[in-house]
Structure 1
């Protein structure tokens, strides 16, 4: 057994340029599920300096921890990377029926709508998700919807097929719902991690709604929009002096779509039916753009085609009800079949905000229906980080990455297991939410707020 000595001087030097609130800590005697190349490490140690993971050691590498480093004995508990939630409304909604800051119905603002400007770090839903081990999330805009039924509500009556960009039964003017962003869930005034990580576009019924009522019309409209963007890029000055033909999009939307047509920003395609999935893949090939599929309840039917195209998929593996004709082929084995075909899968929670915390249960159900455990773990950690371009800093327990860590009472996919500690960039997070505070307040009615009754 080799003993590695880590001096306090070295720790101090390494922490000089890191956030002041980040802790120098060592988590020892842990069952570490790294979600990275190291796989599972039994009885391991994680060393964190200034918010970064600096060492992950197995039992054959005993560490001599320097004075001043907080030592946390996990006592055999499981430690995972912080979970990364894809396709959420976190930070942009409180009560869905009262509206949100992720939908816009403005003919001048579609692709240019950017969710980063609507984020609320004080949202009461963020601590709820954080208590279940979620440390980062991808916030995605939704298409505007009309005054009919709200089958995509998220206030405790969530339809499982609620996905980014779905248009409900609206007649929105915008082909594009807007740009997604990655956030962190730590306490603080600025939760933005990375803006402009994808352009949300509804397809299928949602796309037909925004394009005049037919799927084919949407594809034609999208091709025309991309042609306008390329024409605009060739001579922007001509646009300002009205020296070009009339373009269907506003200047702000044209500018926002430049990274998409250049392949730097992916389209996040909200799509369900296999025929529509194939149409999206064909459209992406013809336009030479990158695509992420969101929803894809019938994705298993085209799993090999999706894998061959190198297209990742964000799914709720519990969606198995044919709620519409777009999902007649929905199955609980969707995640397993996609993964087996070589598709990179990210698993989301059952709803965009209030039930995001259920993503770990969904991952467990995916395992129950055939997905390997390690693949399901990656689907809620490393895969979404890779899909949205932040895997260099989060998604797995590896030296050099941010110390987003969760200590669990048991298997993180078991509903009865709970997080006992959550760290984001090495900072210990409060293990409370508005719900737990209300619970504690009213558990003892004779407690801090006694009621004086007349005698």
Structure 2
């Protein structure tokens, strides 16, 4: 058991607690408050003059899959041999030894979503995991965390350049629809087999899609341009699936529409240039526009596009674009956890949650801030 005392607690579940205490036992937060009695054998960490907050959450990255050092050997981001690969699982490609995990911890990021890239119309299943550990299976919080799909420039560039489908946006949408219809047909066959008490033939591709059709996991669609975002909305409505728009670069242009559609978004990367045509209207004001319209959103680095340790800096730039500081902090803590369906475990300093805690010397939107200590599951992994 240990206690972090005298710090300013940014719990993300209520107002700041000044000179507060967080009590941790067996990897869980057991008490949060002021003037808590510390009876018995309790190790004490004095955080006077510091800020204490939950570990940060990067809601979209490729950490562990796109290793920076090993450009070929360690890059398992895109399976560019077929446009539909729903049966691929990110969990099978993550290397816990990727230096990106060390960078994440140094930046106070204790939870990430990682997964395949956006070359394919349907790329595979993503995973939500802690950033500390030696074995992937022990780091997982939620798997699958969603089925990654992509619209826009990437699939048509990758396959169209080889004279394969999809070479147009129409074909990309058609492939996604066709595959979802195939999954509906597969589900009907499965139900018929169960009714007839026979053993149906399995398809790993279809099983991944069934999890989406049954709304067990969201369809997480890479889309930058407003028209591509609306294609994702259209298809989600047709098949009654939960939709999370990844990147949502032009979301500020259609924010009220997205709110009416009940769409969620993961915005970013923010620290980037107009590297391709569909980023032409990138703006620091996207997060603010979504917030004003009531669209639930989180922020991302898209690591290694933006190094994962710059997640807080990315949120700070969203503040520069008009997003209130509290909302920017929520977008990388509790609101990110809610969007990912893991807020019962992480995202705030509350009793019963994992003791994923960071201690910083000043507000994290200050580029000079220093992450002094990081705890993951109650274990100190940064600091001494």
- Find the partner of 1:391 among 343, 360, 380: 343
* Contact 1:317–1:366, Cα closer than 8 Å, also in 2: no
Say which SS state the counterpart of residue 111 (structure 1) adopts.
Answer: coil
* Contact 2:272–2:306, Cα closer than 8 Å, also in 1: no
Distance change (3 Å), C-alpha of 1:334 and 1:319: farther
Question: Does structure 1 residue 76 correspond to structure 2 residue 49?
Answer: yes
Q: Taking structure 2 as the reference length, what is the TM-score of the superposition?
A: 0.89
Aligned length: 366
Please name the residue that 2:297 is paired with: 345
Say which SS state the counterpart of residue 88 (structure 2) adopts.
Answer: coil
- Find the partner of 2:95 among 104, 116, 120: 120
* Contact 1:317–1:365, Cα closer than 8 Å, also in 2: no
Shift of 1:295: 1.1
* Contact 1:108–1:253, Cα closer than 8 Å, also in 2: no
Shift of 1:417: 0.7
Distance change (3 Å), C-alpha of 1:237 and 1:372: closer
Please name the residue that 2:15 is paired with: 39
- Find the partner of 2:265 among 291, 313, 321: 313
Shift of 1:138: 0.5
- Find the partner of 1:181 among 115, 124, 127: 127
Please name the residue that 2:28 is paired with: 52
Please name the residue that 2:176 is paired with: 222
- Find the partner of 2:246 among 259, 283, 294: 294
Shift of 1:237: 9.5
Shift of 1:356: 0.9
Q: Distance in 2 between matches of 1:418 and 1:259?
A: 41
Say which SS state the counterpart of residue 179 (structure 1) adopts.
Answer: strand
Higher-Rg member (1/2): 1
Please name the residue that 1:213 is paired with: 167
Please name the residue that 2:71 is paired with: 97
Q: Distance in 1 between matches of 2:346 and 2:376?
A: 10
Please name the residue that 1:444 is paired with: none
Please name the residue that 1:110 is paired with: 85
| Deviation readout 1:224-267 (Å, 9 max, x if unpaired) | 1111111111114999xxxxxxxxxx932112111111221111
Distance change (3 Å), C-alpha of 1:330 and 1:134: same
* Contact 2:88–2:124, Cα closer than 8 Å, also in 1: yes
Shift of 1:321: 4.2
Unpaired stretches in structure 2, ≥5 consecutive residues: 160-164, 194-201
| Deviation readout 1:166-202 (Å, 9 max, x if unpaired) | x2xxxxxx53111000111123333222211111101
Question: Does structure 1 residue 426 correspond to structure 2 residue 374?
Answer: no
Question: Does structure 1 residue 328 correspond to structure 2 residue 280?
Answer: yes
Unpaired stretches in structure 1, ≥5 consecutive residues: 1-23, 143-164, 168-173, 240-249, 433-455
Q: Taking structure 1 as the reference length, what is the TM-score of the superposition?
A: 0.76
Distance change (3 Å), C-alpha of 1:134 and 1:320: closer
Please name the residue that 2:199 is paired with: none
Distance change (3 Å), C-alpha of 1:349 and 1:104: same
Please name the residue that 1:170 is paired with: none
* Contact 1:87–1:352, Cα closer than 8 Å, also in 2: no
Please name the residue that 1:275 is paired with: 227
